[in-house]
Amino acid sequence: MSAIQESALLQALQTVVDPNTGHDFVTSKQLKNLRIAGDDVAFEVELGYPGASQFDALRKSLVAAARGVPGVGNVSVHLSSKIIPHAVQRGVQLLPGVKNIIAVASGKGGVGKSTTAANLALALAAEGARVGMLDADVYGPSQPTMLGATGRPESEDGKLMEPLEAHGLQIMSIGFLVDEDQAMIWRGPMATQALEQLLRQTRWQDLDYLIVDMPPGTGDIQLTLSQRVPVTGAVIVTTPQDIALIDAKKGLKMFEKVGVPILGIVENMAVHVCSNCGHAEHIFGADGGRKMAQQYGVDYLGGLPLAMSIRQQADAGVPTVVAEPEGEIAGLYKALARRVAVKIAGQSKDYSAKFPTISISKNS
């Protein structure tokens, strides 16, 4: 096959656009190792986000585009994902074993932040990423229950704790270290120190994403964490209700002030569908999260329903994404996870590892 035909092939492949990013794979240089042997064509496509559920549809589109070029016979396409570290707040070092940290936050409690965080983590894992969960809600740790994880963390070297595992996630929570009915009567500095220890003294193992389920609110603990933890971006969870939106806006502003990018807003409990008659009702109001996203110029990541199954499955330690992986609600969580991952993939890369550490010593 001649060079002209190769250019025709690339031109044809350029017509296939990734629906998740809006970009084609040729211009974005995600198409690699194009090989032409007679009428056989083979190439690889590397996504910058986890998208296992998208591979088949993308492969079919790419094969169809290639076969539209005269002379092309067999077409072999290999799709994969490569997730890299992205920039965090200025002056904060990346965490060993963790490429990207996503803070899931809310201005107030009771909006379903922890449930959203758990399903977001599981959705990213279902799409092919290596994911961890840090339960940063010291006063009310809920991830051990939601993820069905029990036990005490062990340490192989006496310095770092091994994370517990459930549903393919690496998990750490203060809930593993204290009795279930023990109240954490700590002032802010103690709680913050405990959280930093959980974060930095856990041996996270080659994570693409670490989800941090933040405590609700915008007090001292949240502010200190957002300044010291190397956060790639924050997801704000709210309900459409006006009172929830007021507090969610405070959470958004807090992250902006410390230089953490807002990945977007999740509108939880957006609509309730009656399990008996199917009637849909906006119990907490309609489109509050969407309007807030427009007001502040951030992405609207999606709306999630107020469904009894979501609560029941989380209470049972088997959240929706693993309880009904092919269900409609799991599909919403996976779409949300892809939007978050695509948003991160479009951010600046972290170059700190490329530069040597310079130390200045003073001669005596």
Please tell me whether 264 is known to bind a ligand.
Answer: no
Instruction: Give me the mean pLDDT over the 98-118 stretch.
Output: 89
Kindly report, residue by residue over 12-44, the tens digit of the pLDDT. Answer: 999 999 999 999 999 999 999 999 888 899 999
Please tell me whether 250 is known to bind a ligand.
Answer: no
pLDDT at 1: 41
pLDDT at 181: 60
pLDDT at 358: 47
Which of 145-149, 154-158, 240-244 has the least mean pLDDT? Answer: 240-244
pLDDT at 197: 86
User: pLDDT class for 364, splitting at 50, 70, 90?
Assistant: very low
Please tell me whether 114 is known to bind a ligand.
Answer: yes
Parts of the chain belonging to CATH 3.30.300.130: 3-81
Please tell me whether 303 is known to bind a ligand.
Answer: no
pLDDT at 215: 84
Instruction: Give me the mean pLDDT over the 153-164 stretch.
Output: 89
Parts of the chain belonging to CATH 3.40.50.300: 98-345
pLDDT at 122: 98
Identify residue 197 by its one-letter amino acid code. Q
Identify residue 323 by its one-letter amino acid code. A
Please tell me whether 359 is known to bind a ligand.
Answer: no
Instruction: Give me the mean pLDDT over the 148-164 stretch.
Output: 90
Helix, strand and coil content of the chain, in percent to the nearest 5, comes to 35, 20, 45
Q: Is 212 helix (H, G, I), strand (E, B) or coil?
A: strand
Please tell me whether 110 is known to bind a ligand.
Answer: yes
Q: For the whole model, what pTM was predicted?
A: 0.88
Separation of alpha carbons 248 and 24, rounded Å: 35
Structural contact between residues 113 and 238, judged by C-beta atoms closer than 8 angstroms: no
Instruction: Give me the mean pLDDT over the 238-252 stretch.
Output: 81
Please tell me whether 132 is known to bind a ligand.
Answer: no
Separation of alpha carbons 281 and 339, rounded Å: 26
Enclosing H/E stretch for 191: helix 188-200
Separation of alpha carbons 211 and 234, rounded Å: 10
Percent of the chain with pLDDT over 90: 50
Which of 54-63, 102-111, 302-311, 339-348 has the least mean pLDDT? Answer: 102-111
Kindly report, residue by residue over 112-150, the tens digit of the pLDDT. Answer: 899 999 999 999 999 999 999 999 887 778 899 999 999
Instruction: Give me the mean pLDDT over the 231-251 stretch.
Output: 84
Indicate if the pLDDT at residue 271 is higher than 90. Answer: no
Identify residue 286 by its one-letter amino acid code. A
The residue whose two tokens read 């959203």 is: 116
Indicate if the pLDDT at residue 252 is higher than 90. Answer: no
Indicate if the pLDDT at residue 188 is higher than 70. Answer: no
Spatial CB neighbours of 260, under 8 Å, sequence gap ≥ 6 = 88, 89, 103, 226, 231, 233, 234
The two beta strands, 272-273 and 280-281, are antiparallel
Selected residue with higher pLDDT from 247 and 203: 203
Across the strands, what pairs with 215? none
Is the domain covering 3-81 a CATH 3.30.300.130 domain?
Answer: yes
Kindly report, residue by residue over 289-347, the tens digit of the pLDDT. Answer: 788 888 888 899 988 888 888 989 999 999 999 999 999 999 999 999 999 999 999 98
Please tell me whether 107 is known to bind a ligand.
Answer: yes
CATH superfamily name and code, 98-345: P-loop containing nucleotide triphosphate hydrolases (3.40.50.300)
Instruction: Give me the mean pLDDT over the 189-196 stretch.
Output: 76
